[in-house]
């Protein structure tokens, strides 16, 4: 399986990242390897040799059908489950690689950098207007609504499936709202859809 992720898909986060909040012509896509998955509430062991590690709280969509060149209007037929995840990012390394004009894949693809909450059937939620949030040590650090995405889930699927065949089990990290920041050992992260907790793990 593969993990597809979208960068700068919320204007307010794009603004805090590099001062631009404009909608790009197409979604900014990158991938994380399957070895980056961390799930079932397992501890995240901070790879402190990588420098600053930032949390990015995101809605994650699970693909349930093989498809390529999927039009946006049919895209909803290709996923069945959603959760809240964390796209951990080695921020110092990412900025260093961007400055060099080098690929920054490794700053996003290290082990355990794709944390998954418990999946929920997508039918139970309105993905066009879904509140989600992240708390650290009981303080809300990020909150967003799916309606603020610059590219909707269906538009992301249309775009990326022109390049890559989507397969059952593939995951899409749909981008983070504003408020990203570093984690430290001892932090307790919880992710929510509205008031419903779907993600719960600790940094060790």
Q: Which stretch binds Zn ion (CB under 5 A): 60-68, 80-88, 94-102, 195-203?
A: 80-88
Q: Is 36 in the site for Zn ion (CB under 5 A)?
A: no
**Choice between 87 and 154, CB closer to Zn ion:** 87
Q: What is the DSSP string of the chain?
A: --EEEEES-BHHHHHHHHS--PPPSS-EEEEE-GGGEE-TT--B---GGG--EEE-EEEEEEE-S-BSS--GGGGGGGEEEEEEEEE-EEHHHHHHHHHHT---THHHHSTT-EEE---EEGGGS-TTS-EEEEEETTEEEEEEEGGGBSS-HHHHHHHHTTTS-B-TT-EEE----S--EE--TT-EEEEEETTEEEEEEEB-
**Choice between 147 and 168, CB closer to Zn ion:** 147
Q: Is 87 in the site for Zn ion (CB under 5 A)?
A: yes
Within positions 49 to 68, which residues make up the interface with Zn ion, using CB under 5 A?
56
**Choice between 67 and 91, CB closer to Zn ion:** 91
**Choice between 67 and 116, CB closer to Zn ion:** 116
Shortest distance, CB of residue 66 to Zn ion, whole angstroms?
A: 25
Shortest distance, CB of residue 193 to Zn ion, whole angstroms?
A: 18
Q: Is 176 in the site for Zn ion (CB under 5 A)?
A: yes
Shortest distance, CB of residue 177 to Zn ion, whole angstroms?
A: 10
Count of residues interacting with Zn ion (CB under 5 A): 3
* Residues within the interface to Zn ion (CB under 5 A): 56, 87, 176
């Amino acid at each position: 399986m593969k993990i597809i992720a979208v960068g700068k898909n919320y204007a307010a986060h794009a603004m805090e990242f590099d001062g631009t909040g404009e909608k790009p012509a197409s979604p900014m896509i990158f991938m994380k390897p399957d070895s980056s998955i961390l799930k079932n509430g397992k501890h995240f062991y901070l790879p402190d040799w990588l420098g600053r590690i930032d949390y990015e709280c995101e809605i994650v969509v699970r693909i349930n059908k093989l498809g390529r060149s999927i039009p946006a209007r049919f895209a909803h037929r290709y996923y069945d489950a959603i959760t809240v995840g964390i796209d951990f990012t080695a921020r110092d390394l990412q900025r260093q690689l961007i400055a060099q004009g080098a690929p920054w894949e490794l700053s996003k693809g290290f082990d355990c950098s794709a944390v998954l909450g418990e999946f929920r059937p997508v039918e139970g939620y309105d993905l066009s207007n879904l509140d989600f949030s992240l708390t650290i040590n009981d303080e809300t650090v990020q909150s967003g609504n799916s309606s603020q995405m610059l590219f909707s889930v269906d538009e992301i699927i249309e775009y990326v499936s022109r390049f890559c065949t989507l397969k059952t089990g593939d995951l899409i990290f749909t981008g983070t709202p504003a408020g990203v920041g570093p984690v430290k050992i001892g932090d307790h992260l919880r992710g929510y859809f509205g008031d419903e907790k779907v993600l719960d793990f600790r940094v060790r």
